[in-house]
Amino acid sequence: MILKDLSEAIGVSGEEGGVRAVLLDAVQGLADEVRVDTMGNVLAVKRGAGRDRMRVMVAAHMDEIGLMVVGHDSDGFLQVRAVGGIDPRLLPGTLFQVGSDHIPGVVGIKPIHLVEDEEEEKVAKIEDLVLDIGAKSKDEAKRLAPIGTYAAFTTRFRKRGRVVSGKAFDDRVGCAVLVELLRGERFRFDLHAAFTVQEEIGLRGARVAAYAIEPDCAFALEGTIADDIPKDKDVSPTTQMGKGPAITIMDRSVIADRRLVRLLTDTADEIGIPYQIKQPGIGGTDAGAIHQTREGVPSVTVAVPCRYIHSPVALLSLDDFENTVRLMREALSRLTRRTLSR
Amino acid sequence: MRELVRKLTETYGPSGVEEQIRATIRAEVEPLADDVRVDPLGSLVAHREGSGEGKRIVLAAHMDEIGVMVTYVDEKGFARFTGIGGVRAINCVGGRVAFEDGTTGVLGVEEKRSDADKVPKFEQLYIDVGASSRDDCPVKVGDAAAFVRPFVAQGNRLIAKAIDDRVGCAVLIEALRRLKKTPHDLYFIFTTQEEVGLRGARTSVYGIEPDLAIAVDVTLTGDMPESKPMAVELGRGPAVKVQDGGMIAHPEVRDLLVQCAEKAKIPYQMEVLERGTTDAAAMQVVRAGVPSGCISIPCRYVHTPSEMVDEGDVENGVRLLLEVLQTA
Amino acid sequence: MKVVPLLKRLSEAEGVTGCEGPVRELLRQTWEPFVDEMREDKLGNLIALEWGEPSKLLRPRLMLAAHMDEIGLRVTGIDKGFLRITRVGGTDRRALLGVEVVVHATRASRRGRDLPGVVATRPPHVLPQAARKKTVPWDEIFVDVGLPPKEVERLVSVGDLISIRRELAELKNRRVAGKAIDNRIGLVVLTLALEQLSGARHAWDVAAVATVQEEIGLRGAMTSAYGVAPDLGIALDVTFGKQPGVSDVDGSALGEGPVILVGANFHSGIVARLKEVAEAHEIPYQLEPAPGQSGTDAWAIQVAREGVPTGLICVPVRYMHQPVETLDMQDAERAGRLLAAFVIGLEPDFLEELAWEQGSA
């Protein structure tokens, strides 16, 4: 299952090779051209069946959040910093895989027995945490995990009925949706699939990919926040698992083009695909970088709701995944130049 | 010009939903320009050809205003919201907003707040459109609203919401209207989405590749009771931007503005703004760089529903811009 | 080339962000003998080209960038003859009091008149205890040019630039301290490399760029990288030197060689090559991790146009953004040698070595 392979592959922002290998393999035979640019983005083109030379970019990012080794102490512990938005509250008790040899490492904190009440309330800062790979000396630690080594979550992908769990659904689920789009029939237009790098540290790969592709419009595919767990006040869950693909109208990085939003919602209404509008004003995606390239690119983001993204274990519904693929395929089938006329 | 400023400020147009203000501005500039087009992110570009021996110059004013967007509608039909652009919760309390279709909303504050004597946070505010349940609520997640206030001209002062930057748009329109001959190839751009990150200007200018770019926007003043120190004041003329939170004006553009002001005997002030920026900051770093500057209209109460400018400063802004456009 | 006199000239020259003229002129003169062509772009970046060889074929282009702007101050108001100020770039107000400055006054004379001044605040004797323990806020810091208020108002305009004035000090062990070491030392490194390159054969064309406005957002790097459109980019800058308050993780030692940065901003192939070259030439070096933004021109260069494989070499500097920035000259000399050796060793098809594993459609 492509989502499983992608979820378990390792690719922290800046070293996406593990995921790139899985994707290069997965898109073999599905696209007319595949190349990897200097930043490491995988750019695949599936030429259109018709005469419309419209260029449609669909992006999903390969990178995941993780840690980077920045130092070694005299006891052999690794000092680390966050790569992307890792929540420090989640670090204690977490298992990581370190470096290209996937050495297991753990993050532990002072035992509760030894901690005063007030200290229990404080969240340890990442500068004060260490990653333990079992090394016995500074030299050994340096040799096994030199400065610059990446550490990723270690979570096995599991399926429980229609719900799956694993790491890095943000944005391996987006990558999986994109692979499925490449797998089907050709569209009228040229589909430029971009599996991007370094989204988590500033939408970097998408920016240069969009510059190279020069699309007429763009869709970013994501795994997004589903905050549908119990809370005190009746407020937005951001998105809800099981309620279908989430369309972004506005987040911190982009205001979606309303014509593309309408294309998606009209398509969904017409065919009967459930969907939701992501809570406006939260988060940022590759669409943020893409829409501001060159003379501007009308863009929108479509996401699969995932609980606990940016934690070692996320959950998503396969119904949402399949509905996202369906919505994208149907909407893209209805997309023409007229959609973008004013 | 009063009437123009009134018409522009009272039109709906939060960032990302600029269709109505674009139509209003288009109606004004279509008869005055050689061609008018709308670019991919929705900015309106009005082109006036020059005689051929001049430079290609971009003038930019943003047509979007700050606003609010519905993030959630609860069971009872009350809407929670987030800001579009730099909206502060303190300026929302007791306010009114209007949605694209004209629906009015009242901005309410939660009564049971643990820190009731402090300024409320966004999460403690909501929009009341008078609905009785989620099902009969006329607004939905993603709908955008602008603040509502009528325009008032009193003495020399103009008071309205969205003076930032409809007054800049007015300056551009009026300059285009009065412009006779110019050697320069001019692009008057009414940009979108400035308030959320200078997005329209950045992309518009990429398409035009000008030799020079000048934004017309508002700037803060230091002339209110207990103001933070700031040298700019209402009524002492438009300000020539030296530096703001996002850019340092190109010295040649800054000097050009000063020279033009002195030559035409237009009062002006020098502006250093600590926080905040304009479209000029984005235009300056497009492609291989564009020398950029800004004419700023001094404005009190920026980003509140009652922004105030001096009519004389606005008129002098137009005169300064015309002087620049008619100079080689 | 004598490095300390070169650094002294560059450090003491004026070139606050947005107003880099004087240092640009100095660089033009300094680089003249080593380069084939020079031009200034619209934002003031100085772009110098050094052709590779052979001269007939299409050669790949390498951009070397070092920012020439420095942090400074600006007049925001005049109050009873005292100048109210704000910063240009990340000037540190904790290390500003008592510093000598030059006010470039333009009100009376368009070309500007330089007025010596000092950064001042009220003396501790007259302040309540609590105030003495806190860093002075910006609105209680003034610049005093010592002239009568009417004279100040005649000469100085709101918006006038103020630069820090500080002579380079030579400490022990070839350590040197001054203002604007960030990033005049980067320009020293670049100049040393250009000197070596002009006398050596190299396959790649080199575009040496002294960039503007790095301190307020890498602005010169953004536009010059777009304009030069290089195939490869190396930026030269400073990084935190180990000092009290800067841990081993956050800082690199003075005297242990130039720092090669590692992380998402830098192509692993370039990092590997820099390490190889350093080892082959027995140049000691240090590695520093950058998990995200590098805070240097390299961050802008990497995403120019379709993307540029980028690297970064830094000189460790203590007390960054204070007028006493301190470095070890040997680190700069070694950085210059490393850079020159890297460029000389670049094969015409080095880009192929950098290519990622490709797919097969």
What is the rounded CA–CA span in Å between residue A200 and residue A86? 10
Tokens of A205: 């790969």
Domain check: are C90 and C215 in the same one? Answer: no
Q: Has residue C361 got a pLDDT over 60?
A: no
Domain check: are C100 and C158 in the same one? Answer: yes
What is the rounded CA–CA span in Å between residue C221 and residue C325? 23
- The domains located in chain B, with CATH, are 2-65+161-325 (3.40.630.10), 67-147 (2.40.30.40)
Rounded to a whole number of angstroms, the distance from the CA of C287 to the nearest CA of chain A is: 7
Q: Is the residue at C360 inside a domain? A: no
Of C263, C306, C356, the CB nearest to A68: C263
Q: pLDDT class for B115, splitting at 50, 70, 90?
A: confident
Last residue of a domain, one of A153, A180, A207: A153
Of B41, B71, B84, the CB nearest to A291: B41
Report CB contact under 8 Å: C306, A212: yes
Rounded to a whole number of angstroms, the distance from the CA of B290 to the nearest CA of chain A is: 15
Q: Is the residue at A158 inside a domain? A: no
Among residues B198, B237, B225, the alpha carbon closest in space to that of B86 is found at B198
Q: Is the residue at C359 inside a domain? A: no
Of B69, B202, B207, the CB nearest to A292: B202
* Full domain range(s) for residue C39: 3-70+179-354
Q: Where are the alpha helices (DSSP H) in C74-209?
A: 129-132, 149-155, 181-198
- Is ipTM strictly over 0.90? yes
Rounded to a whole number of angstroms, the distance from the CA of A58 to the nearest CA of chain C is: 17
The predicted pLDDT at position B181 comes to: 85
Report CB contact under 8 Å: B274, C224: no
Kindly give the interhelix angle for C329-345 and C3-12, rounded to the nearest 10 degrees: 100
Q: Is the residue at A162 inside a domain? A: no
Domain check: are C25 and C80 in the same one? Answer: no
Per-chain mean pLDDT for chain B = 96
Q: Best residue in B228, B248, B259 to probe C by mutation, most C CBs within 10 Å? A: B248
Of A249, A279, A296, the CB nearest to B41: A296
The predicted pLDDT at position C344 comes to: 97
The predicted pLDDT at position A330 comes to: 98
Report CB contact under 8 Å: C289, A70: yes
What is the rounded CA–CA span in Å between residue A82 and residue A84? 6
Average pLDDT over residues B186-203: 98
pLDDT (tens digit per residue) in C27-84: 999 999 999 999 999 999 999 999 998 765 789 999 999 999 999 999 999 999 999 9
Domain check: are C11 and C116 in the same one? Answer: no
Q: pLDDT class for C359, splitting at 50, 70, 90?
A: low
* Chain C neighbours, 3+ Cβ pairs < 8 A: A, B
A51 and chain B: CB distance < 8 Å anywhere?
A: no
The predicted pLDDT at position C56 comes to: 58
Domain check: are C239 and C200 in the same one? Answer: yes
The predicted pLDDT at position C351 comes to: 96
Domain check: are C196 and C329 in the same one? Answer: yes
Instruction: Tell me the HSE value of C361 on the side-chain side, using a 13 A CA sphere.
Output: 13
**Catalytic-labelled residue, pool C214, C215, C288, C325:** C214
Domain check: are C58 and C79 in the same one? Answer: no
Report CB contact under 8 Å: B287, C227: yes
CA-to-CA dists, residue A112 to A115, A119, A120, angstroms: 5, 10, 8
**Catalytic-labelled residue, pool B10, B194, B307, B311:** B194
Q: Is the residue at A304 inside a domain? A: yes
Predicted TM-score (pTM) above 0.90: yes
Last residue of a domain, one of C106, C131, C164: C164
Residues of chain C contacting residue B272, judged by C-beta atoms under 8 Å apart: 74-76, 86, 158-159
What is the rounded CA–CA span in Å between residue C113 and residue C102? 10
What is the rounded CA–CA span in Å between residue C347 and residue A281? 49
Domain check: are C141 and C273 in the same one? Answer: no
The predicted pLDDT at position B51 comes to: 84
The predicted pLDDT at position C111 comes to: 80
Q: pLDDT class for C360, splitting at 50, 70, 90?
A: low
Is B194 one of the annotated active-site residues of the chain? yes
- Asked whether B232 and B219 are in contact (CB, 8 A), the reply is yes
β-pairing, C232-240 with C72-79?
unpaired
CATH value at residue C77: 2.40.30.40
- Asked whether A316 and A240 are in contact (CB, 8 A), the reply is no
Q: Residue type for B325, please? A: L
What is the rounded CA–CA span in Å between residue C302 and residue C230? 10
- Asked whether A282 and A243 are in contact (CB, 8 A), the reply is no
Of C268, C291, C307, the CB nearest to A81: C291
What is the rounded CA–CA span in Å between residue B62 and residue B299? 16
Report CB contact under 8 Å: C159, B287: no
Residues of chain A contacting residue B75, judged by C-beta atoms under 8 Å apart: 234
Kindly give the interhelix angle for A318-334 and A258-271, rounded to the nearest 10 degrees: 110
Report CB contact under 8 Å: A294, B206: yes
* Main-chain dihedrals φ then ψ at residue B242, nearest 5 degrees: -100, -45
CATH value at residue A128: 2.40.30.40
Instruction: Tell me the HSE value of A125 on the side-chain side, using a 13 A CA sphere.
Output: 2
Domain check: are C187 and C128 in the same one? Answer: no
Q: Which residues of B274-295 are buried (b: 16+ CB within 10 A; e: fewer)?
A: bebbbbbbbbbbbebbbbbbbb
β-pairing, C259-263 with C142-144?
unpaired
C86 and chain B: CB distance < 8 Å anywhere?
A: yes
Last residue of a domain, one of A102, A118, A153: A153
Q: Is the residue at A175 inside a domain? A: yes
The predicted pLDDT at position C302 comes to: 98
pLDDT (tens digit per residue) in B294-309: 999 999 999 999 999 9
Q: Has residue C216 got a pLDDT over 90?
A: yes
**Catalytic-labelled residue, pool A8, A15, A64, A199:** A199
Rounded to a whole number of angstroms, the distance from the CA of B249 to the nearest CA of chain C is: 8
Report CB contact under 8 Å: C359, A35: yes
Among residues C120, C94, C24, the alpha carbon closest in space to that of C323 is found at C94
Q: pLDDT class for B328, splitting at 50, 70, 90?
A: low
Among residues C190, C193, C212, the alpha carbon closest in space to that of C297 is found at C212
The number of domains in chain C is: 2
Q: pLDDT below 50 — which residues of chain A?
A: none
The predicted pLDDT at position C357 comes to: 84
What is the rounded CA–CA span in Å between residue C228 and residue C45? 11
Domain check: are A46 and A110 in the same one? Answer: no
Domain check: are C55 and C91 in the same one? Answer: no
What is the rounded CA–CA span in Å between residue B232 and residue B309? 12
